[in-house]
Amino acid sequence: MNDLCRPDIAGALPMSHPQRRRAILAATLFLMGVSAMSKDAISFESSETGAAPQGWTSTLTGTGAPKWTVESDATAPSKSKVLRQSGRATYPLLLKNDTSIKDGFVEIKFKAVAGSQDRAAGIVWRAKDANNYYVARANALEDNVVLYRTVNGVRSPLDIVGRKGGYGIDAKVPSDTWHSLRVDFSGPRFRVSFNGKQLFEVEDATFADAGKVGLWTKADSVTLFDDITYGEAQR
């Protein structure tokens, strides 16, 4: 297979030489923008088991009743306390109170436990409020990873760089298994990685300003979250 026929991103269409040059330049600028990072790791050790986590705001997009609680789980990656979302809502949302990040990253470990309508875990960034934010999510019922923007409460999937149309990227997301999900964001460019492997990139300028980071699920998803880290690019 020659270079023109080789997909640059899983599921993407082959790129011409000019497109390839632009993609390489964009990737270089992306890495330059996020190479120096602050980093914060979140611990729930001081939070009471069964209670809502300290330093976060539980909210939602749409209707329903989210339920975010701290639980003990010796099988988790941290071998300690985790976050559990077990309520039902259109989109349960949990925002970190003291964050305001424009360029940086968020990474989580998650386990999809149950849900007949949905079984999802998501990362939120540049959130203005409960109805305006970006979210990248993995779904154990659909076996895919998709990046969306939510504007005035309406969620829309975004096209992958190098591919027009489609719906995210297919990826096996077994239930009752711990996975990692990460988003790196710099300017209008977002890079999504799953279980340590880069899946795709997206470009969008809807939300260009700094905003809160957070966690997300959908419908009746019962999801555990652990090893939550985030950072801001140092320029």
**Alpha-carbon distance 142 to 94, whole Å?**
23
> Cα-flanking dihedrals φ and ψ of residue 106, to 5°?
-140, 135
Q: Using 50, 70 and 90 to split pLDDT, how confident is the model at 10?
A: very low
Mean pLDDT of 207-214: 98
User: Is 6 a residue whose pLDDT tops 60?
Assistant: no
User: Is 224 a residue whose pLDDT tops 70?
Assistant: yes
**Alpha-carbon distance 204 to 14, whole Å?**
21
Residue 189 in 3-state DSSP?
Answer: strand
Mean pLDDT of 190-203: 98
- In sequence order, the β-bridge partners of residue 207 are none
User: Is 37 a residue whose pLDDT tops 70?
Assistant: no
98 CB-contact burial (10 Å; exposed 0-12 / middle 13-18 / buried 19+): exposed
- pTM, whole model, 2 decimals? 0.84
Segment (H or E) for 30:
helix 17-34
User: Is 15 a residue whose pLDDT tops 70?
Assistant: no
Neighbour-count burial for 29-43, b at 16+ CB within 10 Å, e otherwise: ebeebbeebeeeebe
**Alpha-carbon distance 128 to 105, whole Å?**
17
Report the amino acid identity of residue 105.
F
Q: Which residue has the higher pLDDT, 43 or 60?
A: 60
User: Is 18 a residue whose pLDDT tops 80?
Assistant: no
Per-residue pLDDT of 111-137, as tens digits, reads: 999 999 999 999 999 999 999 999 999
